[in-house]
Amino acid sequence: MTAGRFRGRPRLLLPPAAMLGFALVMAGLGYGAYRYQGAQAQRQGYARLNYLASQKAARIDDWFQERAGDAAVTASDPLLLDHLLGLGPGAGPDPALGRDLAQRLATLRAAYHYRSALLLGPGGDLLAGAGEAALLPWEAGALPAGTAPAEPRFIWEIHPMPGGPQLRVSCLTAVLAGAPARRLGTLVLRLDVEAFLDRVLEPWPGPTSTGEMLLLARHGDSACALNRTRLPGAAVLSVPMTLTERVGVQALLKGDGPEQGLDYHHAVTQGYSRRLASLPWVVLAKVDREEFLQPVRQLSLLYSGMAVLLAGALALFLAAWRDRERAREAVERGRLEAESRSLGSQLAALSRYSNEIVLVLDPGGRVLEANEQASAAYGFSREQLCAMRIQQLRDAGAVGDFEQQFATVVEQGAVRFRSVHRRRDGSRFPVAVSSLAFELEGRPFIRSIVLDITEQAQAEERSRQLNEELERRVAERTAQLETAFREMEAFSYSVSHDLRGPLRGIDGFSLALLEDFGGQLDERGRHYLQRIRHGTQTMGKIMDDLLDLARLSRQELVRETVDLSGQARELLADLAGPEAGAVQLVIQDGLAVQADPRLMRMALGQLLANAWKFAGRRPGARIEFGQAVPPGDCPVFFVRDNGVGFDMAYAGKLFTAFQRLHDIAQFPGTGIGLAIVQRILVRHGGRVWAEAELDRGATFFFSLPV
């Protein structure tokens, strides 16, 4: 769950990052678009101004061409020529001709709305005219008569009328005659700017607040606006050509192109100028920069607005995202907390009613939580425990390196160990501790389950004591047994040496007595000596058997494969002696066991000797050795004879030393043989038993473990 939360972190940051990236890209694109659109708008602005200026210039050109045409036609009028030609030196003007001329000029003026139509004589004197008759001095001398060349034929000039604000355009046309042509006079057509130019120039297509069209011309060192400006007073605008910052001056200096400069309001102005084709005048279409940049500004405003909107949207989005994430985290946290709480309460419940001591520690060993059992066991309240360190609960003498155990649980996550803890009253108790490291909200903790093992330890101690006691007893018994063995050995040795010696002496000297002094004794005396000798020899035999029996207990067993069939055959052959054939012998072939060969020979020998003793002298005697069937877990062998047998009521006494079931005179023996057999088989882990019937023979069985 924790890992999942960590994994989820990049996912959390992705949308805002993407959003921010998107916003940056959009801003970049927007800025680019703004720059492009701005440049485009400027270009469009200039193109529009260019268009306006070109159109106006063309119209003015046309108009002037027309007027020039009119003037040329009028100047070629024969009436004019005649009139002028009639003015010879000394000849007065023809009054009739003069009237016609005046009539013609009046008609011309009226037809084309000229302010004036005047004919000047060769001396610049007014010959005839219609309209405003006032002749301006520059008009009189502009085209002096008589002199060649013919050019210029036309002079256009804009000028104010003396004593008034009105502007006039004067078109001076030379009246030519003869070849080569010479000037006879000047036709002056004077126009009202207000009535004409202003009508042409003023209308600004489309709405504008600062758009203005100027027709500019240079007058000496001044730049003049030929049309009326929005200058208050409608005065003729005239500025020195040296003011190159003025847009009008620039237009006159450069012409035919975009212009930027100050206008007569000293406002920054953007314009486009176009020279006229027919006159050295320039049409300038201009607007204030404010207005010119209006589209760009609008565009920038639009983009700014969009950027603001975008930023706002982004901010809103981020805020919403953050809120959502926070909400999600809060939900997740709530879920985790709830889980942790429920887990915690489960654990707490588990711990509280646990029979073991449960402690929660921090990695420094400080007790953070302790259950009821802990309070009961240590004798401290939960609050007291929570102010302690685990080291304080440990007995100072406890074995084991505390630091190492603690390091182990922190490193490996879990550890089990034994220790000794101390109660409040100072008493100690042994404990088995199982510590587990766990993490909660990213912090490591250790939970130790402490089991009071006092009873277990006591049981172990008791068990240990018992073991010790047992071992001590075993050692004691062993020592006693060893002593007994040693004593028995000494006894055996003593018997074999010290008792046999005197016996031999009794027997030897009895014999010597018989041999040397037998003649001096009567039959009874010799009989007694025989009885003495018989007794000593029997006693010697008994001592030998007893020593064999004693030796069996301490003799080491050497196990190897023993050919029982072969041994039985040899032993019976020895028993039979030279007179073989009197007894029927049945020996099963191939019987073998893992046993001590010498001891097995002794046991088998005893059994066969017994059989021989009890059956051998009877007619039809038969002795059998074989393996009983079924074999069972371990092989069972038997020695069977058809001799005198015995009463099964006494079977229990068979294998006890010195117990005899038969008359010693008839069947001599020491009574130790079967005891030896039993001792040998028991030492091999086997057993021996017998089945018999009086006078019907006996069968001795013995089994040996495989």
Partner 1 sequence: MEKQTILLVEDNPDDVELTLRVLKTHNLANEVLVARDGVEALEMLHGAGGKPPVKLPTVVLLDLKLPKVDGLEVLRRIRAEPATARLPVVVMTTSREERDIVTSYELGANSYVQKPVGFEAFSEAVRFLGLYWLLLNVSPGQ
Site residues for partner 1 per CB under 8 A: 492-493, 496-498, 500-505, 507-512, 533, 536-537, 539-541, 543-544, 547
Tell me the closest approach of the beta carbon of residue 516 to partner 1, in angstroms. 9
Tell me the closest approach of the beta carbon of residue 613 to partner 1, in angstroms. 20
Of 461 and 487, which has the nearer Cβ to partner 1? 487
Tell me the closest approach of the beta carbon of residue 680 to partner 1, in angstroms. 16
Separation of alpha carbons 348 and 345, rounded Å? 5
Helix (H) or strand (E) run with residue 286 in it: strand 282-288
* 600, 567 Cβ separation under 8 angstroms: yes
Dig out the tokens for 44 from the structure.
């469009």
Tell me the closest approach of the beta carbon of residue 681 to partner 1, in angstroms. 21
Residue type at 244 in one-letter notation: T
Q: Sign of torsion, CA 643 646 651 656?
A: negative
Tell me the closest approach of the beta carbon of residue 551 to partner 1, in angstroms. 8
Of 123 and 505, which has the nearer Cβ to partner 1? 505
Separation of alpha carbons 174 and 147, rounded Å? 11
Separation of alpha carbons 573 and 626, rounded Å? 17
Of 130 and 529, which has the nearer Cβ to partner 1? 529
Nearest CA-CA partner of 151 in 159, 160, 142: 142
Classify residue 495 as left (phi > 0), alpha (psi -120 to 50) or beta. alpha
Of 547 and 682, which has the nearer Cβ to partner 1? 547
Of 273 and 492, which has the nearer Cβ to partner 1? 492
Of 253 and 488, which has the nearer Cβ to partner 1? 488
Of 392 and 496, which has the nearer Cβ to partner 1? 496
Dig out the tokens for 482 from the structure.
């060893």
Tell me the closest approach of the beta carbon of residue 491 to partner 1, in angstroms. 12
Of 492 and 670, which has the nearer Cβ to partner 1? 492
Separation of alpha carbons 84 and 99, rounded Å? 13
Burial of 120 (0-12, 13-18, 19+ CB in 10 A): buried
The 3 state secondary structure assigned to 67-81 is HHHHHHHHHCCHHHH
Tell me the closest approach of the beta carbon of residue 431 to partner 1, in angstroms. 59
Of 420 and 543, which has the nearer Cβ to partner 1? 543
E-strand spans in 423-484? 428-440, 443-452
Q: Which residues contact 251 (CB under 8 A, 6 or more apart)?
A: 214, 216, 259, 271, 273, 282, 284
Distances from the Cα of 53 to the Cαs of 171, 268, 408, 546, 574, in angstroms? 23, 18, 96, 160, 163
Tell me the closest approach of the beta carbon of residue 607 to partner 1, in angstroms. 23
Q: Sign of torsion, CA 173 174 175 180?
A: negative
Nearest CA-CA partner of 548 in 674, 677, 676: 676
| Beta-ladder partners of 380 | none
Tell me the closest approach of the beta carbon of residue 648 to partner 1, in angstroms. 36
Of 540 and 669, which has the nearer Cβ to partner 1? 540
